């Protein structure tokens, strides 16, 4: 099959839209921290994207999509993009490469939230490069690059395990290693720039259409299905979280937008396999589940600061399972539990569990090593004045 | 009447407010400020050379109270805002001549 | 005709871009209210989008595009998207459905401006669901779903009556029922976050390209024409409003961006029927007309708070008429008044007038009913502290 | 060749994305000035876009793309878009016209940075219309409209000379004529809204994909190549500038984002001619070069206020040269210096130098004339209170 | 010399400024603050349970004036800023020792 | 003890801080304010009619110091903040009764 202009147009634009999610993550998280750390949060998203951009075109792509080695990792045949050309099947190979690049970039940006307001910039850069190489790249290979999970038949349409379970449980591990922010639980650490968070959330919602629909890799009915279920799931998540928060107090806008993100996360692996009515349930349940996880996390006194674990980790896990429950052969060719396919459900459970354990354990070890060598955390005084000044020499008020 | 003005760590505001409320002190005016104390701000070690970060965000609480309330308030603020580290802040007490309500014609004239 | 990848790519992306207009509306309006209500304005745009997303896939789409009942409303054949598949003519039916969904979402968001800073959140949610069902859905059916207006030959390329007259005159009705903000005309209620408004305006301008060009439902010459006239009209509106404001005082940036929106509104129904030079006139005149309407509204002491009536209502009305004047058969197959087709002009006048009356009257009655039952307005104290705190328990300064 | 839906979809969306770069420029620069001038910076970007939109459809397009007159300028055959239809080769002619329009708009917006915080609005409008007509339009004609540079074989894929050298050296000329801001070098003039700048930078990065990839005018392999090298170059520029700034002090987020823009500028002319590995070098070197140029400018005490010269002027110059060095026939059909084609290198050098001189000299003369007639600069008091209040009657704090 | 410091409703600032101007009082310094009075802030009824919203945004006006201007200013502010509801604010008067211009060497020393 | 409060041009803050530091005066609290002086703000000529821009952003510096430091500080601020044009600002000096540290129990009580 030759290059199709429609499909190529589609994936080029989707690539740009997914790229916009990375600063979107930065703004989303930046609004949630105290003003003294807002530049740091946004800057880390840009830095994540920049370093992954270089890592991916040199080594990352080939580790993920090079010829399979034991189901675990890709070979080095595409080192420095060797053999990745402007020809391809429907879309150029090079376009597939860059579409995958933007996924890797945004995943690392999500990871930053667990260490908000206390990580040393230099250590973050080193950690980030290593993390994307030894956590993200294998996971991408497993699911999409010919690795064991894909071979087994695990379904992950747009990255429930690869992007969300990895970053969510990774952030949890990081938060455990780096420790709570100074004064956590004693001082107020309320979101200080909610409008920034809402703007970031809007950018995420927008970009997510490309994230999921683009994962069809063609402008076809499957892409349209992904588009529709993505939107419906986000809306349902926003609504359930909002009402749950309302029942316990006030319907905060942070709850609303967090619920939308929860819905978006949960539908990600499922978006090529389920229909709109299932999506209402998947998203609506994600809103409740992730809100519950957040409350649990707070009760435990754990400073996984901006809830990547609760939203991306737990939401991603639910999404992987939900794919095994609600998948229908009429859309993606595979049936799930409710259509009698217990097998698929078990595969999903296995895949999600392995991804969760791998991401958590490897991230934990990596963080400990960096902590012992470079030191993961800024000094108390640097944390006190904020990372904007201490790491970047900048401040939002002149 | 006196004005008690306390410059505290922003993250201690909730604690201070709660401690004051407990003793019946509610009225206050709060301003976001920046400041540095006699310690000349915080020094960050930066690749050998020191970078001085002065002008750290602080919160200023102003309470106009009767003369007899000054001491208790100072103690409450000290207790609730103290961490024992540099940067805890300062309390200043000023004389006030007149306190007048806007809503009605209530007035207290010192002396 | 089968699915075309180019057209499908186009409408998927357009859907995402129009979706972005909804938070764009939130930011645009959020910047214009006092800071104590900014979260509320943005949150209401997200809530509008979320509830309409669910309403549309359950009941709204079929009311608008189900098989026609007496020219007034669609039947229930597509309830819960029954029969809406991934196949279609050029683009999948499901894609048409979701492209229409984002229009319905942004329309409700525009409506919120009339009640800025004083509506009870719970009442807004109920009002919003009912409004989209009994005002928006019929209007969409009339114009595009096989209803009387479309049958009569009324032209509304991208929603001049459906989106703008409906929300503009609806907002006017709401403002009349809910009453002016406390202290209106006595206190200063200046825009407090102008850069936020400008950002929202940029998102609107951007999304409007998809709104109008996407309404061609194909990536063809007609879409390109819509793109070009949309931009030209926006530019002309920005310029005339700016100069009119300059003549009376200062060329405010709010005037500039309001003029751009006026131009965008006015060209909306006309964008598939007129050429670029007519668009300069349509947009330029819209800038002057809407600015005049705003001044009139202020003189009347009416707190239709953020001028949805002046800009969307009057601009949409002008656009519907202007379509009847400037339409040229060489572009959209129909001539207007200046090419001797008085008939078309009268149809446009009729269509716009009926839409205006329907939207105003039904919204008014709906608002009165909700006011008598749930109460439309917050208490004086809640209004005084602002909706951010009183409705959402949040604040922009920590 | 007939209209292709895929290509048309692609360029319509690219047009919208490039349009978004104009407010992106406004936000990017708006965050870098003191808060009293932020509205002014953003408003000038909108005004640039609005006036160019009208100029382009009336006279600008034909001056650039009308039938060639002596290699210097286009004839008047397309005055008021005469003969620009909805048919075409791959994409409609009208679409090519509007895609070019958004380039012209953003270029004028970049120019505003040189006179930040001190230009009279009325003078800027007059200057802007004249500048786009006598500087931008000829340059566009030379490169893409059949003018001497294109005929000679100069390569400028997406506007290195036309957009960046012109605006960068133009801004330098303007800054020299208008003079430094009052108190420049004595007072602190630090960026006061860095998060706004980062948001603007994100919009630029996003839009630039369309700027460069769209310049292929088709959704094909060449567009994909442009997309990939654009991203890689931006990432490399961000990284090198950040580390260079780090070596001299702190890795500011402003440095990071400025480096990304430097990388984006430099790859612009080269994006259809070089591969990803060359792009790493081009972008990485641009980060260092532009940072060096900035430091040089500061040392000279010259208030070219927001470094359009250092980033766009010098970055664009480097990009033009780099195209002549790294071009490879396997991508764009032409080889550069490293493949032994000295000739191409010399052409690039000539083209960039002529563009630089032309832009600088003509802008300088134009600025002097306007200064002598209308006066370019506001009064000292107006500058002191800020352009937001003095030119627009608005303020960011109510 | 005295300092008159008035904490008022933000939306009343324009009225107060206009009323002061009319009587020839121009010079002032204005600060955005937050505050609560003796009423302990505003109570919103919320599903049965009360939510107390303290720390309401206020505007603080500070004017340094001659002793004889204190009374008239208090009256002007009261008249122009009063709504009669809780939250109208307070006026405080302080003694000032020295007022010195920066532009030139003008100075007034109290007493 | 006295409080020296200076309202200056925001762009002069760095100069004033540096000049004060040089003489050993570090401690200060800084607030963003807006203000107008007796000149009634700045008048912009605008198409014949004048537009008055009052309420120009200013920076307020507050320093609590010993009585003997008041004079030197006034002079330093004047020297470093003066441009000679309207809008340079004012310095006010207030009496202070008590200065109390929060970090420890240090206290100075003015006689
Ligand atoms: N003499 C002073 N005048 C004005 N403000 C002061 C003075 N001393 C301290 N402050 C304010 O108090 C804050 C905390 O002071 P600091 O010296 O850090 O406390 P500590 O002495 O406990 O370290 C400063 O940031 C400043 O705002
Ligand atoms: N004793 C006080 N000390 C400091 N500020 C006060 C005091 N009393 C009132 N204020 C300020 O004045 C504002 C209005 O006071 P409030 O008590 O609401 O007025 P009222 O008594 O008319 O209701 C408060 O928000 C607070 O900022
Ligand atoms: N009498 C006053 N009371 C309170 N603030 C004042 C007073 N006079 C001046 N200020 C403050 O000082 C600032 C500068 O004053 P200004 O009159 O402009 O100085 P100058 O007299 O040198 O022109 C004002 O903006 C205001 O904030």
DSSP string, chain E: -EEEEEEE-GGGHHHHHHHHHHTT---EEEEEEEEE-TT-SEEEEETTEEEEE--EEEEEEEEEE-GGGHHHHHHHHHHHH--SSTT--EEEEEE-SEEEESSS--EEE--
Whether the predicted pLDDT of E54 surpasses 90: no
Measured in Å, residue E90 CA sits from the centre of ligand 2 at 5
pLDDT bracket for residue D47 (50, 70, 90): very high
Q: Are A124 and A44 in contact (CB under 8 A)?
A: yes
- CB of F102 within 8 Å of a chain B CB? The answer is yes
| Chain B environment of A389 (Cβ under 8 Å) | 53
Cα(B99)–Cα(E92) distance, integer angstroms? 5
Q: Which ligand is nearest to the CA of F84?
A: 3
- List of domains in chain C: 5-392 (1.10.3430.10)
Q: In the block, which residue shows the tokens 């309401």? A: E56
Contact of A389 with chain B, judged by CB distance below 8 Å, is answered with: yes
| Digit-coded pLDDT (tens) for A280-311 | 999 999 999 999 999 999 999 999 999 999 99
Has this prediction a pTM greater than 0.80?
yes
ipTM of the complex, rounded to two decimals: 0.96
CB-nearest to F95 from E26, E31, E95 is: E95
> Where does ligand 1 bind, in terms of residues with CB under 6 Å?
B 7, 35-39, 56, 58, 86-90; F 27-29, 62-64, 101-103
The whole-angstrom separation of Cα A76 and Cα A201 is 37
CA dist F52 and F48 (Å) reads: 13
Q: What is the structure's pLDDT at D63?
A: 98
Nearest-CA neighbor of C386 among E7, B30, A243, E57? Answer: E57
Specify the 3-state DSSP secondary structure of D327: coil
- C-alpha span between B60 and B33 (Å, rounded): 7
Q: Is F87 in the pocket of ligand 3 (CB under 6 A)?
A: yes
D3-7, D272-276, E7-11: lowest mean pLDDT where?
E7-11
Write out the two tokens for D282.
């081009």
DSSP label at residue A67: S
CA of B89 to the centre of ligand 1 (A): 5
All partners of chain D with 3 or more CB pairs under 8 angstroms = A, C, F
User: Does the beta-carbon distance from B102 to E91 stay under 8 Å?
Assistant: yes
Please give the pLDDT value at position D398: 44
> Average of pLDDT values for F93-108?
94
Task: Say what the pLDDT of residue D186 is.
Answer: 73
Cβ(B47) to ligand 2 under 6 A?
no
Task: Tell me which of F10, F33, F39, F53 to substitute to probe the interface with D (most D C-beta atoms closer than 10 Å).
Answer: F53
Q: Do residues B5 and B94 lie in contact, with contact meaning Cβ atoms separated by under 8 Å?
A: yes
Which of A36, A187, A381 has the CB atom closest to B44's CB atom?
Answer: A381
Of E35, E83, E89, the CB nearest to B30: E35
A382-386: long-range contacts, CB 8 A cutoff, minimum separation 24: A382/B44, A383/A117, A383/A118, A383/A181, A383/A182, A384/A182, A384/B42, A384/B56, A384/B87, A385/A36, A385/B42, A385/B44, A385/B53, A385/B56, A386/A34, A386/A35, A386/A36, A386/A37, A386/A40, A386/A117
Mean pLDDT of chain B: 88
Nearest neighbour of A183 by CB, restricted to B11, B42, B56 = B11
Say yes or no for a CB contact (<8 Å) between E77 and B102. Answer: yes
CB of C236 within 8 Å of a chain D CB? The answer is: yes
DSSP letter (8 states) at residue B69: G
Q: C146 pLDDT band (50/70/90 cuts)?
A: very high
Can you tell me the distance from the alpha carbon of D285 to that of D265, in angstroms, rounded to the nearest whole number?
12
- Residue E26: its chain F contacts at CB < 8 A? 36-41, 54
Give the pLDDT score at C249: 87
Ligand nearest to the CA of B60: 1
Distance F38 CA to ligand 3 centre (A): 6
> What is the C-alpha to C-alpha distance for residues B29 and B10, in angstroms, rounded to an integer?
14
Q: Is B49 in the pocket of ligand 2 (CB under 6 A)?
A: no
Tell the burial category of A298 from Cβ atoms under 10 Å away from its Cβ (0-12, 13-18, 19+): middle
Q: pLDDT, tens digit, for every residue of A1-53?
A: 699 999 999 999 999 999 999 999 999 999 999 999 999 999 999 999 999 99
Phi-psi region at C32: left, alpha or beta (left = phi > 0; alpha = psi -120 to 50): alpha
CA distance A282 to A262: 10
Q: Residue E17 to residues A151, B78, C337: CA-CA distances in angstroms?
A: 75, 38, 55
Instruction: Please tell me the residue having the least CA distance from ligand 2 atom 12.
Output: E89
Low-confidence winner among B101-110, C200-209, D266-275 (lowest mean pLDDT): B101-110
Residue A183: which pLDDT band, with cuts at 50, 70 and 90?
Answer: confident
Angle among Cα D131, D135, D136 to the nearest 5 degrees reads 95
Beta strand residue intervals within chain A, DSSP E: 68-69, 73-74, 88-89, 91-92
Dihedral sign (CA C146, C148, C149, C151): positive
Chains touching chain F at 3 or more Cβ pairs under 8 angstroms?
B, D, E
Q: What Rg, from alpha-carbon coordinates, does chain D have?
A: 20
Chain-wide mean pLDDT for chain D?
96
Of D57, D63, D97, D89, whose CA–CA distance to D77 is shortest? Answer: D63
Cα distances (Å, whole numbers) of residue E109 to A298, D82, F61, F71, F80: 57, 78, 20, 12, 22
What backbone phi and psi angles, to 5 degrees, belong to C135? Answer: -110, -55
Of A195, A272, A386, which to mutate for an interface test with C (greatest number of C Cβ within 10 Å)?
A195
| Percent of chain E scoring above 90 in pLDDT | 69
Contact A154, A282 (CB under 8 A): no
C-alpha neighbours within 13 Å on the C-beta side of residue A120? 18
Q: How far is CA A330 from each of CA A228, A325, D312, rounded to the nearest angstrom?
A: 16, 14, 52
Tell me: pLDDT of B52 over 70: no
Q: How confident is the model at residue E48 (pLDDT cuts 50, 70, 90)?
A: very low
| pLDDT in the model for residue D123 | 98
As a whole number, mean pLDDT of residues F24-49 equals 77
Residue F85 has what pLDDT? Answer: 85
Specify the pLDDT at position F41: 58
Q: Is E29 on the interface with F (CB under 8 A)?
A: yes
Whether E58 lines ligand 2, by a CB cut-off of 6 Å, is: yes
Backbone angles phi and psi of E41, in degrees to 5: 80, -175
Angle between helices A276-299 and A221-248 (to 10 degrees): 40
Q: Under 8 Å CB-to-CB from B96, ≥6 apart: which residues?
A: B1, B2, B3, B64, B110, E92, E93, E94
> Which of A28, A35, A108 minimizes the C-alpha distance to A388?
A35
Which pLDDT belongs to residue D185?
80
- Confidence tier at C398 by pLDDT (50, 70, 90): very low
Determine contact: D187 vs chain F, CB below 8 A: yes
Q: Which atom of ligand 1 is nearest to the CA of F103?
A: 22
Mean pLDDT of the D179-188 span: 85
Q: Convert the pLDDT of each residue in C112-142 to its tens digit.
A: 999 999 999 999 999 999 999 999 999 999 9
């Amino acid at each position: 099959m030759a290059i199709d202009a429609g499909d190529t147009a589609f994936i080029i634009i989707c690539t740009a839209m997914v790229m916009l999610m990375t600063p979107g993550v930065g703004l989303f998280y930046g609004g949630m921290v105290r003003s003294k750390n807002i530049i740091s949060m946004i800057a880390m998203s840009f830095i994540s994207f920049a370093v992954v951009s270089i890592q991916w075109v040199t080594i990352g792509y080939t580790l993920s999509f090079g010829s399979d080695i034991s189901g675990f990792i890709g070979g080095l045949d595409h080192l420095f993009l060797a053999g990745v050309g402007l020809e391809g099947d429907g879309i150029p190979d090079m376009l597939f490469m860059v579409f995958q690049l933007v996924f890797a970039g945004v995943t690392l940006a999500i990871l930053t939230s667990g260490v908000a307001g206390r990580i040393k910039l230099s250590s973050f850069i080193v950690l980030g490069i290593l993390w994307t190489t030894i956590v993200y790249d294998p996971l991408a290979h497993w699911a999409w690059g010919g690795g064991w999970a894909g071979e087994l038949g695990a379904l992950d349409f747009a990255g429930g395990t690869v992007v969300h379970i990895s970053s969510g449980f990774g952030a949890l591990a990081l938060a455990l290693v780096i420790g709570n922010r100074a004064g956590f639980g004693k001082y107020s650490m309320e979101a200080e720039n909610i409008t920034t968070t809402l703007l970031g959330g809007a950018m995420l919602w927008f970009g997510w259409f490309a994230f999921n629909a683009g994962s069809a890799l063609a402008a076809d009915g499957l892409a349209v299905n992904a588009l529709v279920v993505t939107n419906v799931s986000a809306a349902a998540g926003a609504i359930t979280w909002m009402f749950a928060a309302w029942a316990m107090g006030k319907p905060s806008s942070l709850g609303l937008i967090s619920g939308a993100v929860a819905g978006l996360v949960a539908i990600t692996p499922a978006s090529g396999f389920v229909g709109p009515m299932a999506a209402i349930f998947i998203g609506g349940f994600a809103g409740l589940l992730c809100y519950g996880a957040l409350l649990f996390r707070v009760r435990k006194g754990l400073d996984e600061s901006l809830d990547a674990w609760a939203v991306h980790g737990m939401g991603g896990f639910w999404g992987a399972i939900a794919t095994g429950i609600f998948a229908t052969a009429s859309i993606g060719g595979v049936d799930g539990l409710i259509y009698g396919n217990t097998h698929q459900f078990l595969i999903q459970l296995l895949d999600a569990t392995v991804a969760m354990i791998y991401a958590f354990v490897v991230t934990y070890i990596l963080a400990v090593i960096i902590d012992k060598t470079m030191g993961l955390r800024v000094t108390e005084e640097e944390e006190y004045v904020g990372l904007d000044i201490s790491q970047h020499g900048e401040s939002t008020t002149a | 009447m006196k004005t008690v003005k306390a410059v505290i760590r922003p993250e201690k505001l909730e604690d201070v407010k709660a401690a004051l409320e407990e003793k019946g002190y509610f009225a206050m005016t709060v301003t976001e400020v920046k400041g540095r104390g006699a310690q000349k701000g915080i020094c960050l070690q930066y690749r050998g050379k020191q970078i001085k970060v002065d002008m750290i965000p602080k919160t200023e609480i102003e309470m106009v109270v009767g003369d007899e309330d000054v001491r208790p308030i100072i103690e409450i603020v000290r207790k609730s805002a103290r961490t024992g580290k540099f940067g805890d802040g300062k309390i200043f007490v000023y004389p006030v001549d007149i306190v007048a309500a806007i809503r009605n014609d209530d007035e207290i004239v010192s002396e």
